[in-house]
Structure 1
Amino acid sequence: MNIELLVGEIITLLIMAFALGMDAFSVGLGMGMIKLKLKQIFYIGVTIGVFHVWMPLVGMVIGKFLSHSLGIIATLIGGGLLIFLGIQMIYSSFKKEEEPLITPVGFGMFIFAISVSLDSFSVGLSLGIYGARTLLTVLLFGIVSMILTWTGLMVGKRFQGWVGKYSETLGGSILLAFGIKLIFPI
């Protein structure tokens, strides 16, 4: 095992985990403006973290199957998905929706968790096609998204959401860049 390749993969996955977690951070900023107890914030972060483990895991399993079946076409599809997700995140960051449509309680928390982790399914699909290390990927995605969710909720409690739009734009830009890198390797 080449240690330099492993470190490079970890850094790449951490950057991608951060990009995906910025969506949860952004939504957490808005949700944090709802009066939530620290116990609720803890459970919301754990729930988002679990969803950011399971969604990319399912995507990676499907992506690995596609990779063996389709080869280079699957790599292009995976890169295209990342580009699409990045553009979609950048586009949605410019919308004027400041108020959350649902509250993160009960069934609303389930909807909230799915909404911020759907993009991690597609990224997992792309990473499965690319052949990333499954356990490393899903653990990093889960831990980073959980921490960013907690951070967003806590910051949202204290501020009026001025960071949210910019963080989602940054996350989308990172996904867009990785999609382009996947399609056009250097």
Structure 2
Amino acid sequence: MNPVSLILLALAMSTDAFAAAIGKGSSLHKPRLAEALRTGLIFGVIEAITPIIGWLIGQAATRWVENWDHWIAFTLLVVLGLHMIYNGFKHEDEAEEKSAQHSFLVLAVTAFATSIDALAVGVGLAFVDVNIWVAAAAIGLATMTMVTIGVMLGRVLGTVFGKRAEIVGGVVLMIVGATILYEHLSV
């Protein structure tokens, strides 16, 4: 996987977490930078671990699907991209009282929910030439950064922008999938 695709993948993987962080930030009463960093760290670590788990699962299946691995990666990324776009258009009404901080458990569960796509991407990455440790670190760092920013922006931007970010992330995932397919078919 070329460096541009890796960067796009990391950014795409972090957009759903960014959308969730905007929602989390908008539900907090005046979030501080320390809370935003705490939230970013929790999301970033979980988002970095899940593609490694997926990659390990994919590695176990690699020998059975070597001839069509690029189609698997393409399909997974397109399906996940479409799912993110669908979620971006869903309307959710949340009326809850604002607190000063979210509990670790709430943040961890939310982070895991937004990282399921990273797990599936990890499976797809097992079938292409990529260093999973670099990819996981890039995904984790991008997620930590975007979530920290998302929490701070959440109070101002609200969930509308967050949903649009998820739509953009879905489109980017589909582009990365098409790039992987193109690179393998043109060889």
Give TM-score scaled by structure 2 length: 0.86
Match of 2:91 in 1: 96
Which residue does the alignment assign to 1:166? 164
Task: Return the match for 1:128 from 81, 105, 126.
Answer: 126
Change (3 A) 1:136 1:52: same
Tell me how far 1:181 sits from its aligned partner.
3.0
Identity %, equivalent residues:
26
User: Which stretches of structure 1, 4 residues or longer, exceed 6 Å deviation after superposition?
Assistant: none
Whichever residue aligns with residue 21 of structure 1, its letter is: S
Does 2:77 correspond to 1:79? no
Q: Counterpart in 1 of 2:34?
A: 39
Matched, 1:116 2:111: no
1:12 CA displacement? 1.2
1:16 aligns with 2:14: no
Query: AA paired with 2:160?
Result: W
Structure 1 unmatched runs, 5+: 1-7
> Are the counterparts in 2 of residues 66 and 74 from structure 1 also a CA contact under 8 Å?
no
Alpha-carbon offset, residue 44 of structure 1: 1.2
TM-superposed deviation, 1:127: 1.0
C-alpha separation in 2, matches of 1:48 and 1:76: 29
Structure 2 counterpart of 1:48: 43
**How many pairs were matched up?**
178
Does the 8 Å CA contact 2:13/2:143 hold for their aligned counterparts? yes
Q: Which moved more, 1:113-122 or 1:62-71?
A: 62-71
Partner residue, 1:4 = none
Alpha-carbon distance in 2 for matches of 1:159, 1:87: 24
Deviation at 1:107, TM superposition (A): 1.8
Aligned Cα RMSD in Å?
A: 2.0
Distance 1:132 1:72 in 2: 17
* 1:167-186 per-position Cα deviation (integer Å, ceiling 9, x unaligned): 11110001112223333444
Aligned letter for 1:128?
A: A
Query: Normalization by structure 1: what TM-score?
Result: 0.87
